[in-house]
Amino acid sequence: MAISNSSTHRSSLLVKNILVSFLIKGWSAIVILLLVPVTLHCLGEYKNGVWLTISSILLWIDNMDIGLGNGLRNKLATYMAQGDGHRARKLISSTFAMLSIIIIPTLLVLLLLIHFGNTYQFLNVSPSKIVNLDQVLMVTVSMVCMTFIFKLVGNFYMGMQLPAVSNLLIALGQTLALVGTYIVYLSGSHSLMHIALVNTGASLVVYLLSIPVTFYIKYPHLRPSFGLIDLNEAKSVTSMGIQFFIMQISSLILFATANILISKLFSPSMVTPYQITYRYFSLMMVVFTVVCMPFWNATTDAYARGDMEWIRQADKKMKIMTTAIFIILIFMVAVSQFVYDHWIGDDVHIDIRMTIAMATYIFILIYSMRYSYFINGIGTLRLQIILTTGAAFVFIPLAYAVTKQTHNIIWFMVVMCAVNLPGVIVNRIQFYKLIHGQATGIWKK
């Protein structure tokens, strides 16, 4: 009866989060779509490409938490399922402390690298077109490093099985960035610095405001405290977090280096059409993530209680969702030129082959996530680590080699698709072994 009641509560909470997240993510998607043309009109194709490339670099900083954020959400979900509020509070306090220890020396090292390094050569940027690249990088890196600590509140809400709140915080930051970008545009400024400040500062403001609301009003019993910092508790999060971190860094090499490589191998201008197609098709990624993300911590809860039947039923729902997304992606390819014409006008030309390649790439990612979120929730990460690090190790040299031979960005995107395919196959096999009790050896680690 206990499993039945917890299963019902888990499913009810899951449905509520999905419904609310759809509204929030829909709002967020509209904001992102509006940001693309206004930023492009404000900066032009070249500067916009540089900004998108800088944004990719900032993603690296955002993920330098050695997996502590994801480790927190899994451990917190387990402690709350066990009713251990005191240990949950120690966990939150220790994780905040660890993040602070990580980011301060990281910030100092990055500022030194920017000051003494040749950033223009590294990003293949013309000094005559961008006169203050070093200053822009220093400001944005500083802002993102400050955000680094406070964004942990989003992982806290995920661990509490409230991903809709985490999504809301992200959406508020994006909305504030959109408002600021429009103000820059209407002011007649074409400053990369202003756009960078608005986009990095918006999220910091939202997370700073969310801290007192979360830990002084809504969850005072879980408020972090210096007196509760426990290195042993931090180690327990780091142990699981390191595995997530390895996957995060590998994923960054696969996903976030694309803008940098395109800028380096082709031109900053080529980053713009690539990102436009990515933003267009990633709408389906947003939809899928809204449905999929709550399953991560719900799976952690179900697995901790031994409720494998709930996981099997959830898998059936994911299968229907994935099929629907595949059909929608085909439709999106068919109407893509019409959408581009009305969305960005004739500022940028986008090859239909790039559109097809991006749709294929997004579906491969979605199909892989369809299994990996369940596997992450269960905590069996070894195979994913091997596959993602292997793909990351192969991606950059293979992308360089193919580009040098073809001089064609479409083949660059084919490489992106190819290196992710083995992970899709193995994730599927591992998931079904786990839910049917057939996983042994590396399949269960």
Residue whose C-alpha is closest to residue 308's, from 443, 399, 435:
435
Residue 3 has pLDDT above 60, yes or no: no
Rg of the chain taking only CA atoms, in angstroms: 22
Please state, rounded to an integer, the average pLDDT across all residues of the chain.
Answer: 82
Residue 303 has pLDDT above 90, yes or no: no
Q: Are 412 and 262 a contacting pair, CB within 8 Å?
A: yes
Could you give the C-alpha distances from 291 to 89, 320, 377, in angstroms and in order?
28, 12, 14
Q: Are 420 and 368 a contacting pair, CB within 8 Å?
A: yes
Q: Would you place residue 388 in the very low, low, confident or very high pLDDT band (cuts 50, 70, 90)?
A: confident
The better pLDDT of the pair 144, 69 is held by 144
pLDDT at 355: 96
Residue 380 has pLDDT above 60, yes or no: yes
Of 204-218, 267-281, 301-315, 357-371, the range with the lowest mean pLDDT is 301-315
Residue 120 has pLDDT above 80, yes or no: yes
The percentage of the chain sitting over the pLDDT mark of 70, rounded to a whole number, equals 85
Q: Would you place residue 2 in the very low, low, confident or very high pLDDT band (cuts 50, 70, 90)?
A: very low
Q: How far apart are CA 120 and CA 31, in angstroms?
A: 31
| DSSP for residue 218 | I
Residue whose C-alpha is closest to residue 283's, from 20, 84, 32, 45:
32
Residue whose C-alpha is closest to residue 222's, from 152, 300, 298, 301:
152
The better pLDDT of the pair 141, 286 is held by 141
Residue 88 host element (H or E):
helix 85-116
Residue whose C-alpha is closest to residue 140's, from 53, 37, 208:
53
Residue 354 has pLDDT above 70, yes or no: yes
Residue whose C-alpha is closest to residue 257's, from 392, 138, 139:
392
**Residue 373: half-sphere exposure toward Cβ, Cα within 13 Å:** 22
pLDDT average, residue stretch 407-417: 92
pLDDT at 1: 44
Q: Residue 205 has which token pair? A: 């403001």
- CA 23 to chain centroid, in Å, comes to 19
Residues 6+ apart with CB under 8 A from 134: 114, 115, 119
Residue 409 has pLDDT above 60, yes or no: yes
- 23 φ, ψ to 5°? -65, -45
Q: Residue 235 has which token pair? A: 């180690």
The better pLDDT of the pair 133, 442 is held by 133
Q: Residue 181 has which token pair? A: 């970008």
**Residue 277: half-sphere exposure toward Cβ, Cα within 13 Å:** 27
How many residues make up the chain in this entry? 445
Out of 163-172, 173-182, 224-233, 311-320, give the one with best mean pLDDT: 173-182
The domain containing residue 91 runs over which residues?
A: 2-444
Q: Are 66 and 247 a contacting pair, CB within 8 Å?
A: no
Question: In 256-351, which ranges are continuous DSSP H helix?
Answer: 257-265, 268-304, 308-334, 336-343
Q: Residue 111 has which token pair? A: 């500022």
Domain total in the chain: 1
For 38-84, write each residue's pLDDT tens digit. Answer: 898 888 888 988 888 888 778 777 666 556 676 777 778 778 877 77
The better pLDDT of the pair 129, 292 is held by 129
